[in-house]
């Protein structure tokens, strides 16, 4: 069975190369470990165990980043131990987490996928430790020196970790590495980063001054912070569940509209990526593609099954973008996507509806949806007509480039179609039998 790594060999090479590099660095660091010192062994064990425990307290943030609450443990290791000495304890703590997850969920991930995250964390912490110890030489004479050094070590960790993660995602999803790095280190991480700074500082200061009870209390206080962010993560998951529920609701009314919406979302997302649009825009395209026809839920049955409809029904049909927006306006956190689905029938020359917008007045997300929505509608079987040939649909898109559709979007769309044309043709072949059955059903 073909895996994602077979489709993305560059990603596999990156994961293997990076993991082997860090494993080599860990082997190089073995002589720096103080195996014969009881206190050092205690610290190593504490770091491995604490990293495992806090790695399981992570949660997803609005920027589509999985935030781990084990960073204070990493920074503690970066400060208390030297850069090479902290590598193996951090790597083992994270590796233990990955192996347990792999066994618990019966996954069969390749070794380089299992070792990539531990390698990423260990290397990021190695850089953070270098930063701390380099600065501490000059700043330790000041009362505030320790906290400034810790803060800059945290910033270094966040940046390196985000850069390495973004590079892997960029190989997988064809995003810009810089755009992803900026997205994953955005202002949404200010509060958890501040929490990391506070807890890390208390933990390190308490250890250095032999106030071990305070160190333990500071760790337990972080459980409270983890609880808050896990609730936020559940809210984000709820948002996704709402989208899925809305799509299923549309599907219960008309299965074609559900399948059409999912295809539009998938193809429009590919077009957005082809245009190298920012990460947030790509996500908006994905969500608005799934929900752009939500307003069709109030269509009469004949709107789904008849070729010729009366004026009253047509008036209801052309209002479906506004109905979609009205429904989504009732949901918090969907304001931006609601505005986009309302505009997916606007046309580049101003001939669309409902606002008669033209050119770049129309948001880029809506311009992408306009092209993809039209193409999928033309190349899909309906109960009242057969799908148009793909060649015909592509000719229509090209002929109306600069008139109904944004020429830049059309250019990107045509490049994407070249890659997925065979999949579209296979889908149409499979749907032919369903179409013939529908013809008999509605005759």
The pLDDT of residue 209 is 67
Specify the 3-state DSSP secondary structure of 198. Answer: helix
Task: Work out the percent of the chain whose per-residue pLDDT is above 70.
Answer: 70
Which residues, other chains included, contact 245 with Cβ-Cβ below 8 Å and sequence gap of 6+?
none
Handedness of CA 154, 229, 214, 97 (dihedral sign): negative
Assess contact for 154 and 75: CB atoms under 8 A. Answer: yes
- Number of other CB atoms surrounding residue 31 within 10 Å: 8
Looking at domain 254-442, its CATH architecture is: Orthogonal Bundle (1.10)
Which pLDDT tens digit goes with each residue over 306-349? 556 666 666 666 777 888 788 887 776 777 888 888 898 899 99
Specify the 3-state DSSP secondary structure of 35. Answer: coil
The pLDDT of residue 440 is 40
8-state DSSP, 297 = G
pLDDT bin (cut points 50, 70, 90) of residue 186 is very low
Q: Give whichever of 184-193, 230-239, 285-294 has the largest mean pLDDT.
A: 285-294
The pLDDT of residue 176 is 64
Mean per-residue pLDDT for 390-397? 92
CATH class for the domain made up of 4-235: mainly alpha
The pLDDT of residue 178 is 65
8-state DSSP, 31 = G
> Count of residues for the chain?
443
Which pLDDT tens digit goes with each residue over 404-435? 999 999 999 999 998 888 777 777 666 654 44
Backbone angles phi, psi at 247, to 5 degrees: -65, -40
Rounded CA separation 346/257 (Å): 19
Pick from 282, 356, 361: which is nearest to 321 by CA? 356
Q: What is the CA radius of gyration of the chain?
A: 27
Q: Which of 68-77, 252-261, 301-310 has the lowest mean pLDDT?
A: 301-310
Which pLDDT tens digit goes with each residue over 204-225? 666 666 655 555 555 555 555 5
Q: What is the mean pLDDT of the chain?
A: 78
pLDDT > 80? residue 62: no
pLDDT > 90? residue 177: no
Which residues, other chains included, contact 336 with Cβ-Cβ below 8 Å and sequence gap of 6+?
284
Assess contact for 254 and 296: CB atoms under 8 A. Answer: yes
The pLDDT of residue 134 is 93
Rounded CA separation 154/100 (Å): 27
Task: Show me where the domains of the chain are located.
Answer: 4-235, 254-442
């Amino acid at each position: 069975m073909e895996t994602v790594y077979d489709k993305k060999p560059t990603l596999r090479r990156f994961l293997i190369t990076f993991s082997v590099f860090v494993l080599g660095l860990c082997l190089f660091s073995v002589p720096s470990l103080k195996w014969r010192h009881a206190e050092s062994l205690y610290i190593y064990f504490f770091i491995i165990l604490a990293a495992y425990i806090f790695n399981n307290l992570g949660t997803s943030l609005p920027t589509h980043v999985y935030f781990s609450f084990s960073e204070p443990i990493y920074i503690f290791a970066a400060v208390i131990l030297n850069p090479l000495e902290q590598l193996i304890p951090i790597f083992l703590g994270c590796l233990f987490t990955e192996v347990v997850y792999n066994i618990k969920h019966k996954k069969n991930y390749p070794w380089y996928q299992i070792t990539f995250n531990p390698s990423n964390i260990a290397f990021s912490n190695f850089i953070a430790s270098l930063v701390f110890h380099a600065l501490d030489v000059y700043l330790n004479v000041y009362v505030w020196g320790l906290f400034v050094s810790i803060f800059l070590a945290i910033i270094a960790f966040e940046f390196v970790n985000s850069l390495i993660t973004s590079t892997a995602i960029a190989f997988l999803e064809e995003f810009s590495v810089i755009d992803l790095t900026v997205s994953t280190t955005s202002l949404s991480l200010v509060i958890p980063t501040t929490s990391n700074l506070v807890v890390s500082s208390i933990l390190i200061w308490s250890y250095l001054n032999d106030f071990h009870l305070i160190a333990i209390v500071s760790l337990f206080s972080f459980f409270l912070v983890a609880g808050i962010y896990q609730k936020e993560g559940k809210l984000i998951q709820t948002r996704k569940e709402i989208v899925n529920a809305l799509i299923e609701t549309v599907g219960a009314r008309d299965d074609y509209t559900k399948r059409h919406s999912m295809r539009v979302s998938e193809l429009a997302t590919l077009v957005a990526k082809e245009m190298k649009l920012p990460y947030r825009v790509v996500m908006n395209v994905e969500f608005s593609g799934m929900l752009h026809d939500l307003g069709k839920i109030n269509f009469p049955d004949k709107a789904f099954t008849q070729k010729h409809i009366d004026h009253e029904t047509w008036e209801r049909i052309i209002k479906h973008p506004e109905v979609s927006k009205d429904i989504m306006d009732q949901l918090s956190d969907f304001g931006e996507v609601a505005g986009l689905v309302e505009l997916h029938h606007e046309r580049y020359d101003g001939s669309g509806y409902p606002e008669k917008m033209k050119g770049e007045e129309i948001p880029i997300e809506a311009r992408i949806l306009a092209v993809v929505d039209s193409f999928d509608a033309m190349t899909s079987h309906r109960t009242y007509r057969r799908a148009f040939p793909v060649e015909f649909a592509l000719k229509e898109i090209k002929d109306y480039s600069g008139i109904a559709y944004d020429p830049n979007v059309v250019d990107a769309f045509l490049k994407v179609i070249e890659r997925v044309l065979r999949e579209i043709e296979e889908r149409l072949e499979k749907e032919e039998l369903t179409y013939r059955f529908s013809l008999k059903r509605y005759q």
